[in-house]
Amino acid sequence: MNPAQYAVVTGADRGLGLALTEQLLVRGWHVFAGRYLQDWQQLDELQMRYPDLLVLLPLDVSSESSILAAAAAVEERTRHIDLLINNAGVISDRNDDDIHMAQDYDEMIRMYNVNALGPIQVSEAFLPLLQHGQFKRLCYVSSEAGSIGQAERTAWFGYCMSKAALNRGVYALFQRLRPDGYTFRLYHPGWMRTYMSGTRNEAAELEPEESAEAALDYFIGASSSEDESIAKIDEERLVMRDYEGKEWSW
Amino acid sequence: MDKTAWILNLREPFGAALARELVAKGWKVLGGDSGVKDDERASSDLSVESDFQIGENRLVPTGSGTTGLIEFEGSVAYGPESNQRRTEPEPATRLQVAEEDRDLPHHGRLIPIPLDGSDPQALEQAKRHTAEQIANIDLLVLNAGKFVPDSSGAGLEDDSLRDAAENRLQEYERYALTPLRVAEQMLPLLDAGSGLKRIAFVTSSEGSLSAGEAPADAKIGGAMAHAALHMQAKLLFNDLRRSGYTFRLYDPGLLPQASSAGTSGLPPTSINKLPGEPMASLASELADSARFAAGLFTNPSDDEDQLTLIVNPKRRRL
């Protein structure tokens, strides 16, 4: 019998985070799902289906006290975790304001706190639990919007800066933790039909479940041993890869 | 007509050194200065004329030494060495260097504008004060940097999670949001000109993953904030190039780099150190870096259609 495997997923209320959580549960993982939207009920429904595998964690990744409380709550239930997926993220409805328009700096700070600093803070808080596990896998949901080399936008300052900073922060963690056996995945999920902007984006290309399936194949390996697309990952090299397996430049 | 530059953090040592170099080239320089109160603003006496030719200066390298690499992330150029040297005696201590290099000459071509960079409302006042002095800005230098490295921005280290978060957010405000605020406020004055329309970012290559040197000991907060600044520069480049703006992105190389000299292919930096005075050459490094930057910021480039991170070829190494 395989030992129990434990995962933490932030931003699991809906969209990609919810889909990742569900697909991990299907694969038999124990999942601690970070919950920010207390009134959103999909996680409650999922817990009714997986009462022995799913634990809901109140978690605001922009709050240090919330992060520390979540880590403590996980530690009450398990001495180790194997997989940490930093998925929580926010976006602004002021993205298209170019530099000739008044910028919303409070929004930029909010996005930086959630999208850039949050994943780093969460990683640091859960490191002791990862240290006790064998797998030691750290995963981050980033975005092509953080690719400076391929940036073509003429606005979107807050969101793009937050994702570029996230990529740089993950690289710093990679440099420090890779020698201790940690492995990293940095993922661009594609344009998904999620509620990230407040309402479901029906014009997008992907259902979150589609991106989650590709993400998990990348994060923990294919569920089918015949899938060779995830072969040959070089653990000594941090890259950002998308749902089609394509690498994005920094 | 005078060429006019506006420098953020005018009294910060690199900002001050750059201002002196630009004035020496015949530019009029204004800048945000947190050390000047509103009622102490220098006069706008323009009676002093400069003997220097504005534009190409045969004594200063063009600073255009791009390697021809295409994209910014992945494009790191090391410009030609400056062969100018300071002739005045060098101060004995690092602190003295910093203090002396904060001195700004007062002869009407260098005008500090009161500015508390942490106060967004102060920027609007600074913009009004600037507009009282000049009709337009030709060169905007977004210098948010710190000359002396400090211990802020710790992560995976001794700071509590809360302290680390606060420090990292402060660094984002300092290195990324303040330059953007300044760019937003000063853009109308750049738009008003028909000349250079250049925006120069003073940054650190620790923010670049593809620069070939991402020091393992770089503080996470500062590195992340500089990456955000680089993204900001790219977005502004994408937008404003269409209106004739040109851009510079420069690492003065004044913060010590712990990586070995061999990792980037650069020759080891030659720092003449006097016994017992390991930092005695800091003043000359500062002057050299500012001199290089003055040429880089004011002269044409080989390729204005690419955004390239230029690193001071004489960056300091431990």
Q: Is B234 on the interface with A (CB under 8 A)?
A: yes
pLDDT above 70: residue B266: no
> What element of type H or E holds A33?
strand A30-35
Q: Is A82 a member of any domain?
A: yes
pLDDT recorded at residue B231: 98
> What element of type H or E holds A122?
helix A118-131
Higher pLDDT, A236 or B82: A236
pLDDT tens-place string over residues B11-59: 888 999 999 999 999 999 999 977 655 555 443 332 233 332 223 333 3
Question: Which residues of chain A have a CB within 8 Å of the CB of B236?
Answer: 99
Strands ordered across the beta sheet of A240-242? A54-58, A30-35, A6-9, A83-86, A137-141, A183-188, A240-242, A247-248
The percentage of chain B sitting over the pLDDT mark of 70, rounded to a whole number, equals: 60
Cβ atoms of B93 and B302 within 8 Å: the answer is no
Question: Which residues of chain A have a CB within 8 Å of the CB of B72?
Answer: 148-149
Q: Is A1 a member of any domain?
A: no
Q: Residue A206 has what DSSP assignment? A: B
pLDDT above 90: residue A205: no
Provide the number of CB pairs (under 8 Å) joining chain A to chain B. 139
- B225: CB partners within 8 A, 6+ apart: A165, B168, B171, B172, B174, B175, B176, B207
- Continuous H helices in B173-266: 178-191, 220-240
Across the interface, do A149 and B210 touch by the CB < 8 Å criterion? yes
pLDDT above 50: residue A240: yes
Nearest CA-CA distance, residue B187 and chain A, Å: 8
Q: Is A138 a member of any domain?
A: yes
Q: Is A239 a member of any domain?
A: yes
For residue A63, give the nearest of B293, B245, B36, B165 by alpha carbon. B165
Kind of pairing, strands A240-242 and A247-248? antiparallel
pLDDT tens-place string over residues B115-174: 876 677 899 899 999 999 999 999 999 998 674 444 444 444 556 777 788 999 999 999
Specify the number of domains making up chain A.
1
Q: Is A205 a member of any domain?
A: yes
Question: Which residues of chain B have a CB within 8 Å of the CB of A121?
Answer: 161, 164-165
Cβ atoms of A133 and A234 within 8 Å: the answer is no
Q: What angle do CA B209, B212, B215 make, to 5 degrees?
A: 70
Cα–Cα distance measured from residue B233 to residue B226, given in angstroms and rounded to the nearest whole number = 10
pLDDT recorded at residue A26: 97
Q: Is A83 a member of any domain?
A: yes
Nearest to A105 among B177, B214, B229 (CB): B177
Cα–Cα distance measured from residue B64 to residue A197, given in angstroms and rounded to the nearest whole number = 43
- Token digits for A114? 């959630």
The predicted model gives B74-98 an average pLDDT of 40
- Token digits for A122? 């969460």
Domain extent, residue A120, equals 6-248
- Token digits for B276? 């017992």
Q: Please report the ipTM that was assigned to this predicted complex.
A: 0.95
pLDDT tens-place string over residues B279-313: 547 788 899 999 999 999 999 887 899 999 999 87
* Structure confidence at residue B97 as a pLDDT band (50, 70, 90): very low
The CA dihedral of A23, A27, A31, A37, to the nearest 10 degrees, is 10
Nearest to B232 among A121, A161, A250 (CB): A161
Selected for mutation to probe chain B from A101, A159, A168 (highest B CB count within 10 Å) is: A168
Q: Is A143 a member of any domain?
A: yes
Nearest chain A Cα to B184, which residue?
A: A99
pLDDT recorded at residue B37: 58
Q: What angle do CA B50, B52, B56 make, to 5 degrees?
A: 145
* Structure confidence at residue A197 as a pLDDT band (50, 70, 90): confident
Q: Is B271 on the interface with A (CB under 8 A)?
A: no
Nearest to A117 among B165, B229, B236 (CB): B165
Interface of B with A in 45-84 (CB under 8 A): 71-74
Q: Is A181 a member of any domain?
A: yes
Cβ atoms of B219 and B179 within 8 Å: the answer is no
CATH of the domain at A209: 3.40.50.720
pLDDT recorded at residue B197: 95
Cα–Cα distance measured from residue B226 to residue B251, given in angstroms and rounded to the nearest whole number = 11
- The pTM assigned to this predicted structure is 0.84
